[in-house]
Structure 1
Amino acid sequence: MNIASTLLLAVAMSTDAFAAAVGKGAALHRPHLREALRTGLIFGIIEASTPLVGWALGRAAAPYVESWDHWIAFGLLTLLGLRMIRSGFGTPEPETQKPERHSLWLLALTGFATSLDAMAVGAGLAFIDVNILSTAATIGLATMVMVTLGVMVGRFLGAVAGQRAEIGGGVILIVIGSVILAEHLGFMR
C-alpha cells in the first residue's frame, strides 16, 4: 500500500470518529480545546490499537486464505464503506441536555464503537503487503486530529455535517478496496 492509500485509509477510518465527535461537541455546552484534545487523544489511541488487533487476527488466518486475500480485503472494505454510507443517511439523534464534559468511560466506549471498523480493516490489511505499525499510527493520528476538530466545531456543524463526513469516509473505503482488488488482479501496475 502506498502513502496516498495509507493517508486515504486513515482519513476514511477517522470519519466515523469525526462524526461521533461532532455529535459529542454538539452535545457539550461550549466545549473547550482541552476537552477536544482529551477526546481526540482517547479516540486516537483506541483507533490506532484496533487495526493492530485485527491485523494480528488476520495474520493468524493468512496462510489459509492467501490465494483469495485481495477479495477479503475488498469485501471487508466495501462492506464497511456501505455500512458507513448507510449510517450517514440515517436520522440524526435528537438533542439532549448539554453537559460540560463527557466521562472517560463514555468517550472510551464511543471510541471503541467507532473503531470496530478499523479492527476489520486491520484484519483485511493482514493479507496485503503493508507496514501495520505506521498504518495504525497514521490512522490514530488522523483520528486524533479529526476528533479534536470535530468536538470544537460540533456545536456549529451539528449532526448533519458529521453524517455527510461518514458518507464520504464510506466512499473512500470502497475506493481503497477497489484499488487493492485492481492491483492484485493486475489492472494497476
Structure 2
Amino acid sequence: MDFVSIILISIGLSMDAFAVSITNGAIISKVTASEGIRIGLFFGGFQALMPLIGWSVGIKFESYISTLDHWIALILLSIIGGKMIYDSIKESKDHKDEIACDYAAGEKKCLNNKTLTILAIATSIDALAVGVSFAFLKVSIISTISIIGTITFIICFIGVMIGKKCGKLLKKRAEILGGIVLIFIGIKIFIEHTNILSNIF
C-alpha cells in the first residue's frame, strides 16, 4: 500500500474521533492546549493500538484467504465507511449527545480519564477491522500505526481547539467525509489488486 493511501486511511479513521473531539471542545468551559493534548493522546493511542490488534489476528489467516485480500479490503472499508455516513445522518435526526456526563455537587464532569477511555475505544473499533485488512496488504504495520496514531492525535487536538466555535456543523461533515474516504480507499485497493481497469480498457 502506498504512502498516500495510508495517509487517507488515517484521516478517514480519525474522523469519528475528530467528531467526538469537537464535541469535547464544545463542552469544556475553558479550552487549553494541555487539554487538547490529553484528549489527542487518548484517541491517537487507541487509534494506533486497534489496527495492530486487528493485524495480529488477520496475519494468522493470511495464507488461507490471501487470494481474497482485495475483496476483504473492499468489503470492510465499504461497510465501515457506509456505517460512518449512516450513523452521522441518523444521529443528526435523533439529536443524540454521545458524551456521557456525571453530575456531582452541581458540577458537570464529562472528560475524566474513564470517559475518555470509553470514547477512545468506541471510536477506534473501526480501526480494529481495518487492521485485519492490513494483514492481507503490503504494509509495514509499525510505520502504518505510527502514522495513524500521529494523524489522529493532530486532528483530535485541532478538533478540541475549534470545537467551541463551530462544533455541530463540523462534527456531522467530518463523519460523512471520513466515510466517503474509507469507501474510496476500499475501491482503490480493489481496482489495483484486480487490474480491472486494464482488463476493461
**What fraction of aligned residue pairs are identical, expressed as a percent?**
37
* Aligned-residue offset at 1:99: 4.3
**Aligned Cα root-mean-square deviation (Å):** 1.9
Q: What residue in structure 2 maps to residue 27 of structure 1?
A: 27
> Could you list the runs of 5+ residues in structure 1 that have no partner in the other structure?
none
SS in 1 for 2:60: helix
TM-aligned CA deviation for residue 159 of structure 1 = 2.5
Counterpart residue number, 1:176: 185
Structure 1 moving runs of 4+ over 6 Å = 95-98
What code does the residue aligned with 1:81 have? G
| Cα offset, 1:101, TM superposition | 6.4
Q: Describe the shift of the 1:187–1:175 C-alpha distance in structure 2 as closer, same or farther (beyond 3 A).
A: same
1:113 is the counterpart of 2:122: yes
* Equivalent residue, structure 1, for 2:74: 74
Q: Which residue of 2 aligns with 1:185?
A: 194
> TM-score, normalized by length of structure 1?
0.94
Question: Could you say if the C-alpha distance between residues 84 and 132 of structure 1 is closer, same or farther in structure 2, counting changes exceeding 3 Å?
Answer: same
Matches within 5 A, 1:78-157: 78-89=78-89, 90-91=91-92, 92-94=95-97, 99=108, 102-157=111-166
State the distance in 2 between where 1:159 and 1:112 align: 22
Query: How many residue pairs align between the two structures?
Result: 189
Work out whether residues 9 and 172 of structure 1, in 8 Å CA contact, stay in contact via their aligned partners in 2: yes
**Matched residues in 2 for 1:130 and 1:81: separation?**
21
Contact 1:10-1:138 within 8 A present in 2 as well: yes
Which amino acid in 1 is paired with 2:179? Answer: G
Look up the equivalent residue of 1:150 and give its one-letter code. Answer: G
- Stretch deviating more after TM superposition (44-53 or 59-68): 59-68
Shift of the alpha carbon at 1:32?
1.2
Conserved 8 A contact 1:36-1:148: yes
Instruction: Report how far residue 70 of structure 1 moved.
Output: 1.0
TM-score, normalized by length of structure 2?
0.88
Asked if structure 2 preserves the Cα contact closer than 8 Å seen for 1:53 and 1:119, the reply is yes
Contact 1:31 1:151 in 2 (8 A): yes
